[in-house]
Amino acid sequence: MPIQSTRLAICPGSFDPLTLGHVAIISRALSLFDRVVIAVSVNIRKQPLFTLDERAAMIRASFPGETRIEVEQLTGLLAEWGRTRGAVAIVKGLRAASDFEYELQMAQMNRHLNPELDTLFLPTEAGNSFVSSSLVKEVAALGGDVQALVPPHVHAVLMVRLAERAASALRAMPEVAESGA
């Protein structure tokens, strides 16, 4: 009888915060691979709203009881990180054609660094094509309704964090602090 190997895929991203678009891509990856590691990373070009641990907790809460998902913090190069875990693929969601150019360069570099690691691009569903974590944060911070774009528990945490940030910003304003408002 042939030995069955476990096909492991990595879904990398900053997930700050996790959106329903992310959830859909991860769910589709689960239908294609035996196990999926969600690699929560730091994007040095962005200022995160949530810590790595907070983002990992939100992801875990979005897939309760799913034993084929692991959530880990990504450190170092994705290609090498994937090699150490025995991953066969990186799964990336594409929202629009504009995502492809950047993601293709990343896929080619990862393949150069680790020829055993393929990248699979999954187009998002049309309803998620405009959703990004950055846009969700911006709209929510300006009072827009983003409930339909993130899991309920993520929405609750997002609203609390934005309220904390707003209160902190108000306290930091000299005229507000002096007036006792």
What is the rounded CA–CA span in Å between residue 173 and residue 156? 26
Residue type, 147: Q
Which residues does the annotation mark as catalytic?
22, 46, 95, 133
- 31 CB-near residues (< 8 Å, 6+ apart): none
Q: Report phi then psi at 2, rounded to 5.
A: -70, 145
Q: In this structure, what token pair is assigned to residue 127? A: 């309803």
Q: Is 8 helix (H, G, I), strand (E, B) or coil?
A: strand
What is the rounded CA–CA span in Å between residue 34 and residue 15? 22
* Structure letter (DSSP) for residue 128: G
What are the distances in angstroms from CA 90 to CA 16, 17, 35, 75?
A: 19, 20, 12, 15
